[in-house]
Amino acid sequence: MGGVFREIVMDWRGVDIVVTPSNKLLRRIEAQGVSPMMVLHSFSTSAPNMSGLAFVAAELLKAGGAACDEDDVYCAMITNQAHMESYVKALGEAVSPSVADAKNPEAPAVKATPKAAAKARRPRA
C-alpha cells in the first residue's frame, strides 16, 4: 500500500519547505495536547485557534527542516494574513489522505437490446 499522505509545500521566510506528513508526526503533535483536526475545525467557527495553528504549523515546518518555533510562526501569522491562510490550507492538506485519481473512470456504455429499448418507450399505466 502506498503512502496515505501527500507532500505539502509551506512558505517560511520566502523559502519553500517541503513537508511529508505522517501519522507519526500527527501523533507527536497530538501528544503535546493539540489536535490538528480540532485546530483545523476551529477555523470554520467564530473562534479560530491561532496559537494552536502556530504550534502545528511550526511542527510541520520543523519536520520539513525549517529552523523556527511556534512564536516565530505566530508572529508571521499575525503580521501577514496570507501566512495564516496558507498554514490553514497546508494543515488541511496535511491531514487529508491523498487521492490517486481525482475522478472515477467513466462506466462502460451499456448497449440496449431491442427488447429493453421497446420497454423504455412503453407508456406506464
Q: What's residue 96's pLDDT?
A: 85
For residue 4, the one-letter residue type is V
Instruction: Please report which helix (H) or strand (E) contains residue 8, including its range.
Output: strand 8-12
Q: What's residue 78's pLDDT?
A: 95
Q: What's residue 2's pLDDT?
A: 47
Q: Over the range 69-105, which residues count as b (16 or more CB within 10 Å of their CB) and which as e?
A: ebebbbebbeeeeebbebbbebbebbbeeeeeeeeee
Averaged pLDDT, groups of 10, the chain, 125 residues long: 78 95 94 95 94 97 96 96 94 80 57 61 60
Q: What's residue 121's pLDDT?
A: 60
Q: What is the DSSP string of 11-28?
A: EETTEEEEE---HHHHHH
Quote the domain boundaries for residue 63: 8-101
Q: What's residue 99's pLDDT?
A: 62
Q: What's residue 14's pLDDT?
A: 94
Return contacts of 52-56, CB within 8 angstroms, 24+ apart: 53/77, 53/84, 53/87, 53/88, 53/91, 55/29, 56/29, 56/87, 56/91
Q: How far apart are CA 22 and CA 4, in angstroms?
A: 8
Structural domain contains residue 109:
no
Domain count, the chain: 1
Structural domain contains residue 117:
no
Q: What's residue 31's pLDDT?
A: 97
Eight-state DSSP code of residue 103: S
Structural domain contains residue 75:
yes
Structural domain contains residue 123:
no
Structural domain contains residue 96:
yes
Q: What's residue 1's pLDDT?
A: 39
Give pTM, 2 decimals: 0.75
Structural domain contains residue 3:
no
